[in-house]
A and B are shown apart, each in its own frame.
Chain A
Amino acid sequence: MNDHDRGELTCREMVELITDYLEGALSEGDRALFDEHLTRCDGCDGYLEQMRTTIVMVGRLSAEPVPADVHRRLLHAFRGWKRAGGEIPSA
């Protein structure tokens, strides 16, 4: 008899459910099974931590300023659009 039949999750299943868990998309029952597994499985607890760290590290990629020349070019285009006049409706 495997864990599944006993109403438990295997580690292999845990790693596939982890995003639903983090997104709060598991049903109450599944969430309880997930939490219960975490309390007794150091491997899955470590995996969850790795996933959280991954998300934080991906989030660090965002600080990227607009290159100055691009900024200049876009503002130049904005002025052209503004000068074209007809395009600007009254607000």
Chain B
Amino acid sequence: MRWTASTCNTCGLTATEPAMGLIDVTATAHPTGRLRPARGRRRPERRALRRGSVSAMPTPTEQPPSYEASPDDLRLVKALRNGDESAFAELVDRHHAAMVRLATSYVRSRAVAEEVTQEAWLGVLQSLPRFEGRSSLRTWIFRILANQAKTRAERERRTVPFSSLTPDGERPSVDPSRFLGADHPANAGHWASPPRRWEEQPETSLLSGEATAVVLAAIDELPAAQREVITLRDVDGWSSAEVCDLLGLTEGNQRVLLHRGRSKVRAKLESYYDETGAR
């Protein structure tokens, strides 16, 4: 399958396309500071799929995205250049929280992420004369942020909490013991222990602060590259093309990272609901 051809399923990187920030992130996953080999670490499941009937990904999604500044972007840039404070306030309201979230993927401390984001805003103002509208204003702002966060993370390498150094193992999305083994006569690979329906969960518990805390903690535990992608895609609502543009990922790599992140968050929620039962 196309999406395994050049992708390391451990970190989701191709060997030929170092993604902005992600290389950094990969390096932090190895205390030696050496980068993890980007090839040849495929999960058995995927190998099996490649042998099997699932084949040939459509190629159009692999084309590089192109996002130019919108009329609204140009309006804001013009207002900023004219010193319009309300335009700046509008941008801050729109993006600050998401920027802090993204910065957290690099620096791992909320306080430092906040600091880096505030510095990034100054960087945005300084760089305004160089905005050419060849990417969306949002992507441009987040790129400045990512660069600053990366620089800061390099400086603080030694202070990165150990939890973020845990390399992402090669675990499948769902515990293999949940499926019938290969030796099962008729239904190998089918659910032995199927997921319980969450629809039976009272609506209130899906909305509870506790469940939200579970989601937050699950995202926090993700390897940085997965955290970046799931945060931009599912928390901040970016399109896959925009995420690829910002992080320098192919669509395929972006999906691998998204898949691993989402699968782990789902698993944490499932454990939580199974523990609490229907209440």
Q: Which residues of A contact B (CB under 8 A)?
A: 2-5, 7-13, 15-20, 23, 25-30, 33, 41-44, 46-47, 49-51, 53-55, 57-62, 64-66, 70-71, 73-75, 77-79, 81-82, 87-91
Q: How far is the CB of B38 from chain A (nearest CB, A)?
A: 20
How far, in whole Å, are A77 and B232 apart by their CA atoms in the complex?
27
The answer to whether B57 touches A25, judged by C-beta atoms less than 8 angstroms apart, is: yes
Q: Which residues of A contact B269 (CB under 8 A)?
A: 50, 53-54, 57
Interface string of B229-243 (1 = CB under 8 A from A): 010001111001000
Closest to B78 in A: A91
Question: Which A residues lie within 8 Å of B129 (CB)?
Answer: 87, 89
Knowing A43-B194, A51-B262, A54-B265, the reply to whether A16 touches B61 (Cβ < 8 A) is no
**Residues from chain B with Cβ under 8 Å of A78 in the complex:** 85, 88, 125
> How distant is the Cα of A28 from the Cα of B54 in the complex, in angstroms?
10
In the complex, are the beta carbons of B98 and A82 less than 8 A apart?
A: no
| Contact across chains for B92 and A58 when beta carbons are under 8 A apart | no
Select A16's contact among B46, B83, B182, B266, beta carbons within 8 Å: B46
The docked-state distance in angstroms from the alpha carbon of A42 to that of B190 is 11
Tell whether A46 pairs with B195 under 8 Å between CB atoms, given A59-B235, A75-B88, A91-B78.
yes
Complex Cα spacing A70 to B53, Å: 54
Chain A residues in 8 Å Cβ range of B96: 66, 70, 74
**In the complex with contacts A30-B54, A58-B265, A11-B118 CB distance below 8 A:** no
Cα–Cα, bound, A26→B53 (Å):
12
Asked if A20 and B122 sit within 8 Å, CB to CB, the answer is no
Main secondary structure of the interface of A (DSSP, over half): helix
Q: Which residues of B contact A (CB under 8 A)?
A: 3, 45-46, 48-49, 51-58, 61, 77-78, 81-83, 85, 88-89, 92-93, 96-98, 114, 118, 121-122, 125-126, 128-129, 172-174, 176, 179, 182, 188-191, 194-199, 206, 211-212, 215-216, 219, 230, 234-237, 240, 251-252, 255, 258-259, 262-263, 265-266, 269-270
A33 to B255, CA, bound (A): 20
The listed residue (B54, B82, B219, B234) touching A9 by CB distance below 8 A is B54
> In the assembly, what is the distance between CA of A49 and CA of B269, in Å?
13
Distance between Cα atoms of A28 and B211 in the complex (Å):
36
Contact B191 A19 (CB under 8 A): no
A62, B179: Cβ atoms closer than 8 Å: no
Nearest CB of chain B from residue A14's CB, rounded to whole Å: 9
B217 to A: closest C-beta gap in Å:
11
CA distance in complex: A26, B2 (Å)? 11
Q: How far is the CA of A54 from the CA of B76 in the complex (A)?
A: 34
B104 to chain A, nearest CB (A): 12
Query: B240 — nearest CB in chain A belongs to which residue?
Result: A23
User: Considering only CB atoms, which chain B residue lies closest to A17 in the complex?
Assistant: B54
Asked, given contacts A12-B176, A53-B206, A75-B88, whether A4 binds B263 with beta carbons under 8 Å apart, the answer is: no
Can you report 23 A-B residue pairs in the complex whose CB atoms are below 8 A from each other?
A: A3-B190, A9-B53, A12-B176, A15-B263, A19-B258, A19-B262, A20-B259, A25-B61, A28-B58, A29-B56, A30-B53, A43-B190, A43-B191, A57-B215, A58-B219, A58-B235, A64-B97, A65-B97, A66-B92, A73-B118, A75-B85, A78-B85, A90-B81
